[in-house]
């Protein structure tokens, strides 16, 4: 087999899922992660359509379902906190409750996929790639902390602001598309006493919601605001992000003053733009991108997790089928996934149009696709 040693950057969802499949197929896998351990926190994510089939083939579907959030419904309030409606048929974060989709907290899914990767996968925490030098027979990787090493292939599974993408493909500005919204997510005590329930505010300039988590022992807070233009803010400057959020929500009613109190102490505060990554190609030489690094759909799509899991399965499968020949495998990977990805990225734009119509009181366009039409938009091969 060609190209047996593979370095994956990123240990959230796509990286560990890919590590599982590559290890299973006989490749030697190393995963490097900037954080000192698996990152805590994050929003509720959804495993839908073909991603559920990937989980079945991994052998983790039963445990995945056991980790589900168990939401019973939601309440929507207006800007003053007055209830507009409550429903036990669907939730804001997960959609219809009678669907086969599984909603799970991001960190629970990351832990599950991490454990699913075989024991011979090497993890390098608290480190990152500083330089990538492609050679005729491999890639010399310089790390920030460890000594340089040689690998046959490098995979960037390191998110919206991918370090690998920046090193191998060029500036982020060339491929990122801002969707006009910023979102913060963090953990807090269950200060509203929610019982497998969530409450969201239908705001215009600022808004968000709160959902119970961990069997009601805590909550996850979502706080967002509109910004037509991208902000000039370092995505790693957490103190500045907290200050910005506090400024934007200053004077906001409902439960936001209490939420802001908990924000300052949250150990897992995460803040970023709603953006998409759109690229003509997801590979360059011996480097390839996976999930948000190559084709982020944004949380507005509700499909980022599923795309990462499906992408990991297809990328590993095509490498296996090609005997490790990256030129053949990377081309097939793109051919298999491209329409599925484009459909899900369009879904984010569709969902934003829906929300804008609801806020303006207009009827949404009935031609807009729903989750189900896109979530099942790919037929998975057997590798």
Say which residue, 264 or 251, is predicted with more confidence.
264
* pLDDT digit string, tens, across residues 111-122: 999 999 888 999
Determine contact, residues 272/296, Cβ cutoff 8 Å.
no
Task: For residue range 211-249, list pLDDT tens digits in order.
Answer: 999 999 999 999 999 998 999 888 899 999 999 999 999
How many angstroms separate the CA atoms of 111 and 113, rounded? Answer: 6
Q: Which helix (H) or strand (E) holds 51?
A: helix 50-58
**Where do runs of H (alpha helix) occur along 274-325?**
292-295, 304-321
User: 329: helix, coil or strand?
Assistant: helix
Domain assignment present for 266: no
Percent of the chain residues topping a pLDDT of 70? 93
Residue 198 domain-assigned? no
Residue 205 lies in a domain: no
Task: Answer yes or no: is 95 within a domain.
Answer: no
Cross-strand partners of 124: 32
Return the bridge partners of 44, or none: 105
Q: Has residue 123 been placed in a domain?
A: yes
The per-residue pLDDT for range 292-331, each reduced to its tens digit, is: 999 999 988 889 999 999 999 999 999 999 999 999 999 9
- Of residues 109 and 202, the one with the higher pLDDT is 109
- Residue 95: which pLDDT band, with cuts at 50, 70 and 90? confident
Q: What is the pLDDT of residue 373?
A: 61
Token code pair at residue 237:
């400057």
- pLDDT of the residue at 350: 81
Burial class (CB in 10 A: 0-12, 13-18, 19+), 53: middle
- CATH number reported for the structural domain that contains residue 52 in this entry: 3.50.50.60
Full DSSP string of 54-82: HHHHHT-HHHHHHTB----EEEEE-TTS-
Q: Is there a domain that residue 120 lies in?
A: yes
> Mean pLDDT across the chain, nearest whole number?
92
Classified as helix, coil or strand, 321 is helix
d(CA 288, CA 165): 9
Look at the chain and count its residues.
383
pLDDT at res. 356: 60
Instruction: Tell me the pLDDT tens digit for each residue of 120-173.
Output: 999 999 999 999 999 999 999 999 999 999 999 999 999 999 999 999 999 999
Interior/surface letters 111-149, b for 16+ CB within 10 angstroms, e for the rest: ebbbebbeeebebbeebbbeebeeeeebbebebeeeeee
Q: Kindly report, residue by residue over 169-218, the tens digit of the pLDDT.
A: 999 999 999 998 999 999 999 999 999 999 999 776 789 999 999 999 99
Which residue bears the tokens 């979102």? 183
Q: For position 119, what pLDDT does the model report?
A: 84
| Dihedral sign for Cα atoms in the order 317, 323, 327, 331 | negative
Picking from 334, 349, 342, the residue whose alpha carbon sits closest to that of residue 374 is 342
- Angle of CA points 376, 202, 361, to nearest 5°: 85
> Does some domain include residue 34?
yes
Q: Determine what percent of the chain is predicted with pLDDT higher than 90.
A: 80
Query: What is the count of structural domains for the chain?
Result: 1
pLDDT at res. 358: 53
Question: How is residue 148 written in tokens?
Answer: 């340089």
Tell me, yes or no, whether 296 lies in a domain. yes
User: Cα dihedral sign for 329, 335, 340, 346?
Assistant: positive
Model confidence at 269, pLDDT cuts 50, 70, 90, reads very high
pLDDT of residue 253: 87
Domain hosting residue 48, numbered range: 5-68+105-176+276-354
pLDDT for 302: 86
What pTM, to 2 d.p., does this model score?
Answer: 0.94
Residue 365, pLDDT > 90, answer: no
25-39, 229-243, 280-294, 338-352: range with lowest mean pLDDT: 338-352
Lowest-pLDDT range, 27-31, 42-46, 93-97, 163-167?
Answer: 93-97
Pick 86 or 361 by higher pLDDT: 86
- What integer pLDDT is reported at residue 369 of this predicted model? 46
- Per-residue confidence at 363, pLDDT binned at 50, 70, 90? low
């Amino acid at each position: 087999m060609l190209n047996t040693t593979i370095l994956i950057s990123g240990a959230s969802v796509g990286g560990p899922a890919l590590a599982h499949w590559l290890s299973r197929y006989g490749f030697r896998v190393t995963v490097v992660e900037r954080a000192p351990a698996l990152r805590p926190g994050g929003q509720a994510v959804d495993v839908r359509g073909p991603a559920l089939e990937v989980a079945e083939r991994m052998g983790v579907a039963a445990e995945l379902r056991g980790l589900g959030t168990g939401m019973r419904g939601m309440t929507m309030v207006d800007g003053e906190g007055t209830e507009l409606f409550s429903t036990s048929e669907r939730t804001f974060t997960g959609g219809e409750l009678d669907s086969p989709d599984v909603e799970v907290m991001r960190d629970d899914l990351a832990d599950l996929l991490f454990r699913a990767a075989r024991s011979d996968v090497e993890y390098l925490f608290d480190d990152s790639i500083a330089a990538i030098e492609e050679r005729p027979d491999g890639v010399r990787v310089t790390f920030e902390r460890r000594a340089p090493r040689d690998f046959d292939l490098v995979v960037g599974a390191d998110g919206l602001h991918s370090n690998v993408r920046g090193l191998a493909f060029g500036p982020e500005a060339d491929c990122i598309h801002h969707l006009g919204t910023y979102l913060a997510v963090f953990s807090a005590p269950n200060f509203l006493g929610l019982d497998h329930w969530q409450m969201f505010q239908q705001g215009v300039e600022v808004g968000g919601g709160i959902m119970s988590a961990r069997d009601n022992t805590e909550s996850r807070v979502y706080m967002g605001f509109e910004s037509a233009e991208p902000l000039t803010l370092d995505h790693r400057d957490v103190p500045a992000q907290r200050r910005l959020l506090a400024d934007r929500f200053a004077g906001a009613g409902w439960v936001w003053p209490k939420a802001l109190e908990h924000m300052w102490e949250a150990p897992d505060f995460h803040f970023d733009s709603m953006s998409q990554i759109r690229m003509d190609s997801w590979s360059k030489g011996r480097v390839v991108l996976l999930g948000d690094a190559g084709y982020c759909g944004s949380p507005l799509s509700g499909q980022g997790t599923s795309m990462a899991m499906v992408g990991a399965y297809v990328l590993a499968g095509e490498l296996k089928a090609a005997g490790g020949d990256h030129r053949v495998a990377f081309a097939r990977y793109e051919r298999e996934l491209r329409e599925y990805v484009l459909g899900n990225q369009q879904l984010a734009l569709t969902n934003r149009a829906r929300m804008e119509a609801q806020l303006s009181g207009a009827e949404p366009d009935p031609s807009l696709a729903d989750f189900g039409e896109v979530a099942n938009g790919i037929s998975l091969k057997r590798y």
